[in-house]
Structure formats: structure tokens, C-alpha cells
Homo-oligomer: A and B are copies of this chain.
């Protein structure tokens, strides 16, 4: 199990993923696309990095909007796995 991060470490890592917001135990990114098709295309791009990391974001899709929520359920909060996957997701464009 990956260790929970301290609040100061979370602040430090948050600077690396400025497009994400931190809400409690979650990293959250909301992305808006042209339409439903493009939203689903983006969701497909999440599969490979998630499977490789064995870490899976919770997703909400509402027409052209995708909300991505990361946390480490087993650790009970944010860990380095969340920040690493967040960076990879941001890099998908």
C-alpha cells in the first residue's frame, strides 16, 4: 500500500498539477469537450495509464463534460499514485 501524503507534501505536489483541484481526499479535474463522442474518446484514453498504474479514477460523464476524481481508497486519501496518474491524465491533452 502506498503511504498517505502529509498536507505539506500535498501542497508541494499540487503545484505540479495546476489544472486539478483538491477537494478533501480527492484530486478533481473537469474537462469539457465538443460533444458526447469526444468526451467518450477522452475516457478511452484513460484506460491505458490507469491499467498500467493499477489505479482507476472515478468518472462522471454528462454529455460533453467529464469529471475525473482520483483518490487512493486503500490508503484512505491522497497518495503519490494519485498525483502521478493526474500528471499522466493532464498530459493526454
Contact = CB atoms under 8 A, between A and B. Distances in A.
B58 A62 contact: yes
Interface residues of A, number: 16
A82 to B, nearest CB: 15
A37 B59 contact: no
A47 interface: yes
This protein's copies in its complex: 2
Interface string A41-64: 001101100110000101111110
A59 B60 contact: yes
Interface in A13-55: 36-37, 40, 43-44, 46-47, 50-51
A37 B46 CA distance: 10
Contacts of A61: 43, 58-61
Interface of A: 36-37, 40, 43-44, 46-47, 50-51, 56, 58-63
